[in-house]
Structures are given as C-alpha cells and as structure tokens.
Structure 1
Amino acid sequence: MQSLPEIGWRRVLLFPVLIGILSGVAGIVLHLSIDFFTDVCKSLIYFSNSDTIPYYLLPPVGALIAGIIVYFLAPEAEGAGENAAIEAFHKRGHIRLRVSGVKLIATSLIIGSGGSAGREGPLAQISASIASFISSKLKLREKERRVLIVCGMAAGVGSIFKAPLGGAIFAIEVLYKRDHEVEVIIPSFIAAITAFLVFGSVFGLGVIFQTEKIGFESPIFLLFYALLGVAAAFFGRLFINLLNVVRELFLKLSMPNYLKPAMGGIFMGVVAYFSPHSIGIGYEWVQKMIFSELALNIIIILLVGKIIATSFTIGSGGSGGLFAPSLVIGASIGGLFAEILSLVYPDVPFVYETFVLVGMAAFITAVAKTPISAIILMVEIAHSYKILPGLMIASIVSYALSGKESIYPAQVETRFHSPALRKELTVNILEEIYAMEAMIPREKIITVSPSDRISEVFNLIEKTGHTGFPVIDDRRLVGIITFEDVEKIPTSERNETVVKDVMSTELIVAYPDENLESCLQKLVINDIGRLPIVDRNNHLELLGLITRTDIIKAHAKKSTETHE
C-alpha cells in the first residue's frame, strides 16, 4: 500500500484543513437545523394540553416526510450515516454531493420529530460526501479519495461531539472490527481539530458533558468495572441482534421504501408513549445520570426504551446516526450498575459519574468494535486520566465478550478484507516475497536435453502433467520447450524432430533476489507460464523455476501468516 509520502504530504495535509473547515460549517448548519425542527415540533406537541398534537404522533409524521425526501432524492442517505461512510470507503469510494443536503434535512426531521437517532453519524456522512466531491473535482486518485473520506468522518464526529482526538481515532478505527487505518491518522487529526475549532467558534469549545467528581476509587473496584464490561457486552449483543432483526424485517416488508421509515416511526411513537425519555438524541438524560439525578426506574425505562426506539428508527431506514443512541444506552447501563451497587453495598464509597462514563465506553466498544477511541473519548470528556483503569478494564472485557457482530454492517474484519484495499495489499504482499522463497529448486526440476526427440518430450508431458521444461546442455541453460512448441510438430514427425529444433532460446528470466510482484508482471506481460531463475552474473546457470501456481501458493501462505 502506498504511504503518505508517496501520495504527497502537501496535498494530504492541505486538503484535510479544507475538509475540516467545510465539515465544521456543515456541523453548525446541522446543529441549528435540528434545533429548529425540534423547536417547531415542541410548539406542536402537548403533554397536558388537549388543544395540540400528542408528542407520540410526531415521529411517524417526521419519518414519513424524511422518507419521501430521501428515497426520491438520495436513497443512499437512509439509515445510519456512519455505516454509509464506512461502505463508501470500502466499496464505492464516492458519495454524491446531494447526499449531504438530503442527509441534513432528513436527519433534522427525524430527530426533531422525536426519532431516536444521533447527529454525529449523519455529519460523518455529510462530511465524507463533501470530501468525495472535492476529490472528484480535483481528480484525485482513489487512494487520496479514501484518505479524505476518513478525514470527513473524523471531522464530523470530532467537531459535533467536541472531542477531536477521539473523533479522529474513531474514524480510523470504525472502518474495521480488528484493524485500524493507521496511515491516515495525521490527516484525520488535522481535519478533526480544524472542524472542532470552526464548530466551537459558534457553540463553544467546552466538552459536551459536564463532570465534577471523576476519579478512580481503588484497585478493588476493577472487579466492578469488569462486571460492567460484561453487562455492556450483554446489552450490546441484544442491541445488535434487535437492530439486525428490524433491518431484515423492513427489507422484506412489501411496501414502498419511502413509507418504511414512517412505519418505523409508528413503532417509535408507541415506545415514546411508554418511555418519553427515549425520544430525540437523549444527551440531556446522560448529563442527568452523570450528576446522579435520575431515579432507578427512569434509568431502566430509558435503557429498554432507547434500545427499542433506536432499532426501529434506524432499522426501518430512518436517517440518523447510531453513535449518540449508543452513548445514551451505555450511560444507562453504567447508571443502572451504579444504582444497583449503591443498593447492595450502601456503605461503599464510589464515584457515580465514573460508572456512567465507563458504561458509555464499554457499550460503544461492544457495538462498534472501537475500544481505543471509546476510551479516548471518555478521557476527553472527563478531562482526567484517573478513570483510565476502569475504562480500560471494562472496554477490554466488553470487546472480548461482544462477539464479531457490529451495529455497522459495512465494517470488515481487517484491511485484508476490504474490497478497496485488497488489490493494494495483494501487490504489497508479493513485493515482500522473493523468487528464491517460492521457486522450485534446481534439483527438483525435470529437464530435457537438446538432442531429445519431441516424442519423448510429449510422453514426459503426459507422464508428469507439466507443460514446459528447461533445456539443459552440459549443465548450461540453453532454452525452454513447452507443450505449445511440441503441439506444432505433426505426429508423424515427432520421432525425427529433436528439442533443439523447436525450443525457445530467447528466454525471459528472473533472479533469486527479485520479488514476486516483478516475476508476476513478467509472466503476465509476456504471456508465459514459467520463469527460469538464474544467477545474475551467469544467465546460463539454472537455479530454479517459478510458475504462476508457485506465486499463488506463496501469496496464500504469506497472507495466512500475516492475518492469523
């Protein structure tokens, strides 16, 4: 794979600044748009006034309007924005610019009307769309386009969540379940911090949640944090399974696609009736849990309601993000765990809000497979490294127990499994293997003599299954004879014709220290099936032979060793 210096440092470092500026502006517009639609819907709903519209009827209305806009203008704007950006990186490498506008309006309608979704994911897709547009206009190469898509994701999450370091790490980590796109880490940092400064110039540079008594109690509490990790993994699996079931259900549902989000909105309305805390983004409830201001029964209702509401909002095709709901669910798990702990051990002193933050990190780790960014995000929020032990233990346990499934179907296992990177990685692997490692050594090669009859060579082909043989005369390589050469000789003349009369003497050769990528290019360009491996200083000395099959075997062996 190309390194950043090969792409061009100036271009890769300049463009992220541009992406960051535009993403920051897009974040401001998205935030204001969500606030506007939320205020409009609040003016229409009632909790006690019978002259206005019931709040639980608004989610299907907002989802219906959003569904019509999305499916007639930009169908790829449906669902979780994070997943769409991940898919663009691995497969298409391109997101239409119109997606950014459609995603912004549709997300604002969904969240504003009470749908359970987040704004970080949509902004990640919007920013990736802007990055893709710039890449197309500047006619950047595919590699550079993917770099800028990741920069857009980093800028989107890092700015609107007000955590640029965590947002950048999240963008390079969320692409894979067991890998990281480390080569774009510096451009991602630049884009994220730029977007954060632009967004912060309007909405402030402070963290998104306020904390007071963050700390680490004592080593004995590591056991409790490990148990919190187990709980996060359990609820993570539950959320992923429910989300996948809802997705499959709506995929099979026989109705126009633009109506499906409205159907999901109806289920959302039912959930909102029993759990009004589940509507919208839900960050206000996280803040209350951090300050220990929510009762145990409210936390349970929020936890269950948010899992169900988010599954139907996003699983039905509603436009939004899964990042924020996952944080709310994780905070609920942490708050619930802290409440239970206080009931079981009323005399044990512990920091309540630490469990809330650790719960968020552990749950994000479980459902998104992003342990490093989850830890960094919470440290940024807490402004303290004191919570690191709890964060690390809970996230490690959660990651280990959560299984391979993720809330983002577009995630792949490793870089090796990415369709976009597979070709680059294949070439890279071949460049690391030398001919001497893959060739058939001289002592195992079947050779023929210039004076052998063609009929004898034909019999040798039938006996061994090989279709070509080096021709050796007095230990010197003098030619190659293949099945194609033999086939040209009429059957009646094969007993009288000898090898030296039909063999190829203008040989394409390779050397022991030549890599397999170079060998493969020689085979393909010259349309031949085998390469003699000879001494660089003496082309008549045969050291080995290599075929395409040998290259494939060497590549497979190296790939297995690399990715086990």
Structure 2
Amino acid sequence: MPHRRAHLKLVGKAHRGVLRGIERLNINDNTFLIIMAAFIGVFSALCYAFFRVSINAMEKLFFEDIFNHLGISYDFPGRLLLFFIPIIGALLIMPLIVRYPKEASGYGLPGLLENVIFKNAVIPPKVILLRTLTTSVTLGCGGSAGREGPIVTIGAALGSAFGQFLKLSGDRMRILVACGAAGGIAAAFDAPIAGAMFALEIMLLGNLAVYSFSPIVISAGVATVTTRAIFEKDIEFTVPAFTMVSLNEFYLYCILGIITGLVAVIFIRLYYHITDRFDRAQIPVWQKVLLGASLLGAIGVLFPQVFGVGYKWMNEALMGNMALYLMLALVFLKMIATAVTLGCGLSGGVFGPSLFIGLMLGGSFAAIVNMILPGTVHEASYAMVGMGAMVAAASQAPLTAIFLLFEMTGDFNIVLPTMFACMISVSMMKILKQESIDMVPLTRKGYKFSGGKDVTVMQRLKVRDVETKNCDAIPESMSFRQIQMLIARSSQMDFPVLDQDGKLVGIISFQDIRKVIFEEGLDDLIVARDIATTDLITVKVDDTLQEALEKFTIRDYDHLPVVESDGTLHGLISRQKILQAYNNEIQRIALQGG
C-alpha cells in the first residue's frame, strides 16, 4: 500500500509538471490544438496498425492454420467446422462483454455520438483496450461486422484521454475526440480527406468552423502518413480503374442511387428489428451472445462470405469472379449476419458492412444491365459507386462517401457518378423519413436533429426546467369584475381557466379582455368561460424547448399552459423564458469551451 501511494504521488507530480510546462510555452489555443491533433493522429494510426494485425492474425489462426493442421478442406463435411469458430470467439471475450457491456459490446458509435454531442465527451480510457480486444476476436473469429466503427471509437477515446490528461473541457475536448475519429478513418482507408469529412459530418453534426477544421485535418493527415510508413503499399482493398462507357450511364447511376437508398432503409430497419429482438429476449447476456454466435455460424457454413470484414470477397466481386446470384444473396445475408453479430453483443461496426452491401448491390445491378444490354457498362465501376452510395445513405454522410471513393481510386472521373448516386440515395432516405443507422438510438431517446448545433442545444432543455409553476389561474365561473381585479395585481399576461375539477379548459389573454372591457354593464354578467379561448395549444412537462417554441409559432401568445398527461395544469411557460434559457445554455457551453 505505501508503494502504491508513493507511485500515485509521483504520477501526480509528473502530471502537474507537464501542465506547468505547457503553460510556460505560452502558445495560442489554436496552435496548441493542432499540436495535440498531430499526436492523436500518430497514436490513432498505431492503434489501427495493432488492430489490423490482430484481426489478420486471428483470421489466419482460425480460418487457415486450424484447417491446415487438421488436414480439413472447406468442402463438406469439413466446412461444418466453420459453425464452431464464432462460438469459440464468443467464449473468449464473454467475460469482457458481461463485465463491460457498454464499453466492449455491440455497435458503440451511437453511444459515442450521444456522449460527444450532448454530454462532456469524457470517454473512459479503458475503452481503447476493451474495444481493441473484443473487436479483434469478434472479427478474427468470423463476426460479420466492420472494423471502422471500433477504430473510430478507439481514436475518439484516445482524443478524450489527451483532453482529460490536459484537463480540457467543452468544445476543445470535442475537437480532440473528433480528431481521434478522423485519424481512425484516415488510417483505415488511407484517405485523409474522407477521415476529416467523417469527423465533421458525423461526429460534429456538420458544424464546420476553422477553429475545429484545422486540427481535424492535421490529425487525419498525420494518421495517414504514419499508416503508410508502417504498411507501405500493403493495401488490403484493391480497386480497379474506373470506366465509363457512355454519358447515358448517368441515368443508370441515378437509378442505382434510388435502389441503394431503398436497400439502405431495409438494412437499417432490419438491423434494428433484429437488435430489438435480442434486447427484448428475457435471457442472460451470455446466452444471447452464444445464440447470436450460433446463428452466425449456421449462416457461415452455407455462405462463408459473410464472415469477418469481407474485403477478400469484395475484391473477388470487383475482379468479376463472383456469380450474380451469389452477389444478390450476399446483399441480404450480410444485413442479417451483421445484425445478428452486433445485436447479440459481439463487437464491431457497420461502416464495413455498408461498403460490402453497396459493392454487391452495385455489381449485381450492373450485371443485370449487361444481361439486358450486353457490354453496356463496366460492372466493377458500378460496384465501387454502389459502395459510396450505400455508405452515404446508411450514415447520411455523402461528402465522406464521395471523398472516400475519390481517394481510394485516385480517379477524378468517379466523382460525378458518385455524387449523383450518393445524393439520390440520401434523398431517398429523407423521403422515407429514415434516420441514419447511427442516429436511430438517439432519436428513440427523444433527440431530434436538424443539422445544427442550436437545435441540439434546445433538445437538451426541458419545459419542466424553465416553466413558471406558481401561476395565477382563473376558475371558469369567475365574474368579469373579479377577473379585472386579479389582472390588476398580477404580473401575468395570460391566465389559464380551470373547471371545478381543476382541469384546464381555456386561457384568457389581454386580447380576449380587450373585446369586452369597454362594454358597460357586463362586469357581473360575463364569467371567465364566456371570454376564454378554448381552442387550446398546450405543452407537456417533458417536452423539449424546441417543441415548445414550435408551438408558440402556431398562435401569437406570450405564454402557453403546461399540462400533465391527464390535462391537469402544471404551470405556464413563456417565450421570453425559453430564449433566456437558451442564451444561458449557450453561455455555459462557451465558458466550458474556453
């Protein structure tokens, strides 16, 4: 115990020394963030390198070495051994999944986004190790998922760890987290621009500012250079040259965009349908994990192409070595396998499966076109554009998808067809009112997104936090004379009207009083219910301020009644208090960021 205490004192002293050293450098805030972004880029690339090597080593062990050692081929009945590989992987990481379900299991990006957008962006450093271990084993043992989502989470956790060590808060912490995410994507695809766009479109909800943009670009660039230094030209994903036979193909790319948008909607809804079934199952976590691993193994026995990240089979499809029926089947089998893998609690992402599904869909579409009109299109080109369109639709991040395809191919000619397909696929998602695969869990919690920071601020604040509870209310039988006396001593401008049971039945404003105040002889003849407006617009105590403000635009009142679910009056809320609460929250965020 004394040794541990002495160790902690030494670490604390070193920590304070580092902070004092940074203060003595006297560098401005933007320069400081750029320096931190460069460090985060390096560490994100190193984590990706370890992550990639770990997955490849696990795949080689389970899908090559074991089969070679036992002298078993992939033909039946030897292929039945594939059924047990996901189960073995699940058993290996079961203790971590049961002990750390939030940090180590499932698809972690929605939870990360909630933390970054709505909370303080503080991510436990243990996430780095837990996600690396669980995802490496999951994918190495055949889990049908992507490694890009976890590397984003790992990179974001690295950025948060730097911020916590340097005692940053607010916007600066979020920028470092976004730098880690950008570094992770840039390292995974050797695509720095796509990495930066991913951080801006998804992690920061499209809030582009020079203050945040510069560090993010630096992190993505440094991560790319570091990855190239480690792996040189060892690229796992090979893309052929883009070819466009005729300008008339733009019509076909538009059709592909429509189809991809529809398939993306099916993918998202099927994914959450299966995930919800696992969540509602009244069985222990370990049983859910083993059930999912068994289902995945059963699919993989018949279609081993769904196992793992799937880059090998994507390359086969791009080279034209895959039959049409198999590509079509894999579009839907990959959806199911991914949902089962992540829904049961195994770890991974959905970015890679989106690429896989889009590639198989684009390749299938082009193959069908060539069956109808032989030699019309280059199938591999449609497969590549299909990848971009699916990522754009599923993640609702079209810029990320467009730049990703451009950087992967290095061919500017692919940009225009990709733009057509991506924007149309995203538009289909909007038309069908489908949230992105990352945002569905957040919208289920009541968050709404309109592409701006202001909306997210208003979504954090509730009516119950700013309403006036002790307001003057009027019984419906109160005479007009008594109403005038009440108004004279009250500071309110609008008055709820209650029936004998205390339920809200109307509201009286100065506009209503003005109609009869100059009429003589009515003081004791008219009662509250005669002049009250009964066509009510009310808000609930758990509504957000965004929802309340939208209701103010329907009718020009200064106040709206706040009611319980049974119609009982709870208080009043004013337009002025909403704006005041909004301004206070903006100032609080600015102070945290400063």
TM-score (structure 1 length as normaliser): 0.72
- 2:449 matched to which residue of 1? 413
Query: Are residue 551 (structure 1) and residue 576 (structure 2) matched?
Result: yes
Aligned-partner residue type, residue 100 of structure 1: I
Encode CA deviations 1:319-344: one digit per residue, 9 max, x unaligned: 01111111000000000001101101
From 388, 406, 413, give the equivalent of 1:379: 406
- 2:428 matched to which residue of 1? 401
- 1:345 matched to which residue of 2? 373
- 2:185 matched to which residue of 1? 157
- 1:504 matched to which residue of 2? none
Q: How does 1:218-233 map to 2 (within 5 A)?
A: 218-233=246-261
- Relative to structure 1, the CA distance from residue 186 to residue 302 in structure 2 (aligned partners, 3 Å threshold; closer, same or farther) is same
Contact in 2 for aligned 1:246/1:316 (Cα 8 Å): no
Q: How does 1:92-491 map to 2 (within 5 A)?
A: 92=119, 93-175=121-203, 179-183=205-209, 184-204=212-232, 209-348=237-376, 350-402=377-429, 403=432, 404-408=434-438, 409-410=440-441, 413-414=449-450, 416=452, 421-422=457-458, 462-463=486-487, 466-467=490-491
Query: Are residue 58 (structure 1) and residue 85 (structure 2) matched?
Result: yes
CA distance in 1, matches of 2:489, 2:175: 48
Encode CA deviations 1:455-478: one digit per residue, 9 max, x unaligned: xxx996623574289xxxxxxxxx
Once structures 1 and 2 are overlaid, which stretch shifts more, 268-277 or 258-267?
A: 258-267
Once the 2 structures are TM-superposed, how far is the Cα of residue 90 of structure 1 from its aligned partner? Answer: 2.0
CA distance in 1, matches of 2:79, 2:413: 49
Once structures 1 and 2 are overlaid, which stretch shifts more, 45-54 or 158-167?
A: 45-54
Once the 2 structures are TM-superposed, how far is the Cα of residue 61 of structure 1 from its aligned partner? Answer: 2.2
CA distance in 1, matches of 2:315, 2:39: 33
Contact in 1 for aligned 2:207/2:453 (Cα 8 Å): no
Contact in 1 for aligned 2:97/2:345 (Cα 8 Å): no
Encode CA deviations 1:208-249: one digit per residue, 9 max, x unaligned: 533333133333111111111111112111111111011111
Aligned-partner residue type, residue 110 of structure 1: T
Encode CA deviations 1:6-65: one digit per residue, 9 max, x unaligned: 992022211111111111110111011111211221223442486897012211221233
Contact in 2 for aligned 1:60/1:269 (Cα 8 Å): yes
- 1:498 matched to which residue of 2? none
CA distance in 2, matches of 1:356, 1:51: 32
- 1:22 matched to which residue of 2? 43
Contact in 1 for aligned 2:103/2:130 (Cα 8 Å): no
Unaligned runs of 5+ in 1: 1-5, 427-457, 470-547, 559-564
Contact in 2 for aligned 1:416/1:422 (Cα 8 Å): no
- Relative to structure 1, the CA distance from residue 198 to residue 425 in structure 2 (aligned partners, 3 Å threshold; closer, same or farther) is farther
From 33, 40, 43, give the equivalent of 1:12: 33
Secondary structure at the aligned position of 1:181 is classed as coil
- Relative to structure 1, the CA distance from residue 24 to residue 251 in structure 2 (aligned partners, 3 Å threshold; closer, same or farther) is same
Calculate the aligned-residue CA RMSD, in Å: 3.1
Secondary structure at the aligned position of 1:13 is classed as helix
Aligned-partner residue type, residue 436 of structure 2: S
- 1:476 matched to which residue of 2? none
Larger radius of gyration: 1
Question: What fraction of aligned residue pairs are identical, expressed as a percent?
Answer: 26
Aligned-partner residue type, residue 467 of structure 1: S
- 1:545 matched to which residue of 2? none
Contact in 2 for aligned 1:208/1:381 (Cα 8 Å): no
Contact in 2 for aligned 1:90/1:419 (Cα 8 Å): no
Encode CA deviations 1:246-298: one digit per residue, 9 max, x unaligned: 11111111122244222211111111122111111011122222222212122
Encode CA deviations 1:182-228: one digit per residue, 9 max, x unaligned: 13322211111111111221112576533333133333111111111
Encode CA deviations 1:343-380: one digit per residue, 9 max, x unaligned: 010142x2222101110011111211111111110011
CA distance in 1, matches of 2:441, 2:186: 21
- 1:455 matched to which residue of 2? none
Once the 2 structures are TM-superposed, how far is the Cα of residue 425 of structure 1 from its aligned partner? Answer: 11
- Relative to structure 1, the CA distance from residue 78 to residue 553 in structure 2 (aligned partners, 3 Å threshold; closer, same or farther) is closer
Secondary structure at the aligned position of 1:182 is classed as coil
CA distance in 1, matches of 2:286, 2:341: 13
Contact in 2 for aligned 1:90/1:418 (Cα 8 Å): no
Encode CA deviations 1:472-503: one digit per residue, 9 max, x unaligned: xxxxxxxxxxxxxxxxxxxxxxxxxxxxxxxx
Aligned-partner residue type, residue 180 of structure 1: G
- Relative to structure 1, the CA distance from residue 139 to residue 421 in structure 2 (aligned partners, 3 Å threshold; closer, same or farther) is farther
Unaligned runs of 5+ in 2: 1-26, 443-447, 463-481, 494-572, 584-594
- Relative to structure 1, the CA distance from residue 386 to residue 467 in structure 2 (aligned partners, 3 Å threshold; closer, same or farther) is same
- Relative to structure 1, the CA distance from residue 163 to residue 424 in structure 2 (aligned partners, 3 Å threshold; closer, same or farther) is same
TM-score (structure 2 length as normaliser): 0.69
Contact in 2 for aligned 1:358/1:394 (Cα 8 Å): yes
Secondary structure at the aligned position of 1:139 is classed as coil
Contact in 2 for aligned 1:371/1:396 (Cα 8 Å): yes
- Relative to structure 1, the CA distance from residue 33 to residue 53 in structure 2 (aligned partners, 3 Å threshold; closer, same or farther) is farther
Q: How does 1:523-542 map to 2 (within 5 A)?
A: none
Contact in 1 for aligned 2:241/2:409 (Cα 8 Å): no
Encode CA deviations 1:499-548: one digit per residue, 9 max, x unaligned: xxxxxxxxxxxxxxxxxxxxxxxxxxxxxxxxxxxxxxxxxxxxxxxxx9
Q: How does 1:497-508 map to 2 (within 5 A)?
A: none
- Relative to structure 1, the CA distance from residue 419 to residue 253 in structure 2 (aligned partners, 3 Å threshold; closer, same or farther) is farther
CA distance in 1, matches of 2:410, 2:356: 20
- Relative to structure 1, the CA distance from residue 465 to residue 401 in structure 2 (aligned partners, 3 Å threshold; closer, same or farther) is farther
CA distance in 2, matches of 1:305, 1:264: 14
Secondary structure at the aligned position of 1:219 is classed as coil
Secondary structure at the aligned position of 2:274 is classed as helix
Once the 2 structures are TM-superposed, how far is the Cα of residue 399 of structure 1 from its aligned partner? Answer: 0.6
- 1:488 matched to which residue of 2? none
- Relative to structure 1, the CA distance from residue 328 to residue 308 in structure 2 (aligned partners, 3 Å threshold; closer, same or farther) is same
